[in-house]
Amino acid sequence: MMHYSTDHLPMPTMIQNLDHENFFPGRCILINGPVIVGAGPSGLAVGAGLKQQGVPFVILERANCIAPLWQNHTYDRLKLHLPKQFCQLPYFPFPDNFPEYPTKYQFLDYLESYARNFDINPQFNENVQSATYDETCGLWRVKTIGSTDNGFSRGEVEYICRWLVVATGENAEKVVPEFEGLEEFGGQVMHVCDYKSGETYRGKSVLVVGCGNSGMEVSLDLCHHNAIPSMVVRSSVHVLPREILGKSTFDIAVSMMKLFPLWVVDKILLAVARVVLGNIEKYGLKRPSKGPLQLKNTEGKTPVLDIGALQKIRSGEIKVVPGIKRFSPGRVELVNGENLEINSVILATGYCSNVPSWLKENDFFCRNGIPKFSFPNGWKGKAGLYAVGFTRRGLSGASLDAIKIANDIGRIWKEETKHKQHSVTVGGCHRRCKSHC
């Protein structure tokens, strides 16, 4: 049993307000405080802010660990591609000995100590199936299917709460496009979220579909393992050097954004990229018509911060190819008519939010599972609904959301519980924020 100590009593009386039509047959738990869905960096950061203010909460996580995206769905050599000061979570800095670009293992160690430091204990193996606002009682009803570590069902549970914090991320599900003939291809096909290293691809021809940061970095990793990657660039891509004269391009862009409008910063970035990288269009890497930051802001498409793939493209070790027409046994036909013999396919075709599949709400989130209002207005909805980590600003954007959300809930919590202070501390005992019904 999780233990959430709090000085505030649960509110069992509210349960009586739930109407009978919405009667739930499974276990039903009233949460005295917010329910946070997702124990990635965003959910942990909100949890830390709430802990600091003494607000009890529950984090529901479908996986059996914190930050499963980082633990289970990233490749071995991954490093953060933004400098460390843009990737640390609120109230708890990275250790001083971390390098400028921490490895994923260092980042994971940090997240573990973050959770430990704030005594955050998510409820693991709780997959949220639906969340509905019940207007009759003014509470959120969050239904989960629980499982054991071996995958056996533990049945359904309904959590009832006043505040719901959506922290399921922009990368909750892999995007797997359909391709003609892929079922006849016969070789190994995997999404990049399951790729660990190029070790098993030595000497093999691998088609990497997609040229975002994943496609580029996996192609580079394949080169390091003497595999032969061909990378599909079906439309366009912005590649920027990760550093300019030893200083982080991202850091430079952030500084420039304080002085100039976005389009000016984009023009400067592109001019500098042209000097540092040369004309990349001659390698098949057409640049989008929108600038890199404008594209990130409007469409969420992250520019590639090059860590070495471009050099391999120049040398021909990574072959850039156009879009896919169809697959056939052991081969792929491209839109330019070229036909390649390949052993495996790695789909670096991106990720998407899963919010529309479970959150029953039409006002705050768009159909693509991202809040309708962009930064800085997309963190708070109506009726106690919040969203963290959906501003297309990476970990630093998530941290900003988390601070605002924790402070907002903390403020309301303090106001509303002020008058109860005397009655709840009777006996000075700690109480759990959960009550069962």
Ligand X SMILES: NC(=O)C1=CN([C@@H]2O[C@H](COP(=O)(O)OP(=O)(O)OC[C@H]3O[C@@H](n4cnc5c(N)ncnc54)[C@H](OP(=O)(O)O)[C@@H]3O)[C@@H](O)[C@H]2O)C=CC1
Ligand Y SMILES: Cc1cc2nc3c(=O)[nH]c(=O)nc-3n(C[C@H](O)[C@H](O)[C@H](O)COP(=O)(O)OP(=O)(O)OC[C@H]3O[C@@H](n4cnc5c(N)ncnc54)[C@H](O)[C@@H]3O)c2cc1C
- Calculate the alpha carbon distances from 152 to 128, 149, 190 in Å: 16, 7, 26
User: Is 242 in contact with 218 (CB distance < 8 Å)?
Assistant: no
Taking CB under 6 A as the criterion, the residue among 61, 126, 158, 217 binding ligand X is 217
Task: Pick one of ligand Y, ligand X, ligand 3IO, none as the site partner of residue 369 (Cβ within 5 to 8 A by kind).
Answer: none
- Interaction between residue 371 and ligand X (CB under 6 A): no
Structure tokens at 272: 């500098």
Q: Which CB, 104 or 314, lies closer to ligand Y?
A: 104
What is the smallest separation between the CB atom of 187 and ligand 3IO, expressed in angstroms? 29
Structure tokens at 102: 């921490």
Task: Pick one of ligand X, ligand 3IO, ligand Y, none as the site partner of residue 398 (Cβ within 5 to 8 A by kind).
Answer: ligand Y
**Residue 165 DSSP one-character state:** E
Give the 3-state secondary structure of 181-249.
CHHHHCCEEEEHHHCCCHHHHCCCEEEEECCCHHHHHHHHHHHHCCCEEEEECCCCCCEEECEECCEEH
Taking CB under 6 A as the criterion, the residue among 39, 166, 172, 305 binding ligand 3IO is 305
> Counting beta carbons within 10 angstroms of the beta carbon of residue 19, is it exposed (0 to 12), middle (13 to 18) or buried (19 or more)?
exposed
Q: Which CB, 2 or 257, lies closer to ligand 3IO?
A: 257
Structure tokens at 418: 């002020």
User: Is 350 in contact with 361 (CB distance < 8 Å)?
Assistant: no
Task: Pick one of ligand 3IO, ligand X, ligand Y, none as the site partner of residue 265 (Cβ within 5 to 8 A by kind).
Answer: none
Name the segment binding ligand 3IO (CB under 6 A); options: 68-76, 124-132, 181-189, 302-310: 302-310
- Interaction between residue 405 and ligand Y (CB under 6 A): no
Kindly write out the interface string for residues 25-64 of this chain, putting x where it contacts ligand Y by CB under 6 A and - elsewhere: ------------xxxxxxx----------------xxxx-
Identify the three-state secondary structure at position 46.
helix
Contact set with ligand Y (CB under 6 A)? 37-43, 60-63, 67-69, 74, 80-82, 87, 127-128, 167-172, 354, 358, 389, 394-395, 398
Site of interaction with ligand X (CB under 6 A): 78-81, 177, 192, 209-215, 217, 232, 234-235, 301-302, 323-324, 348-351
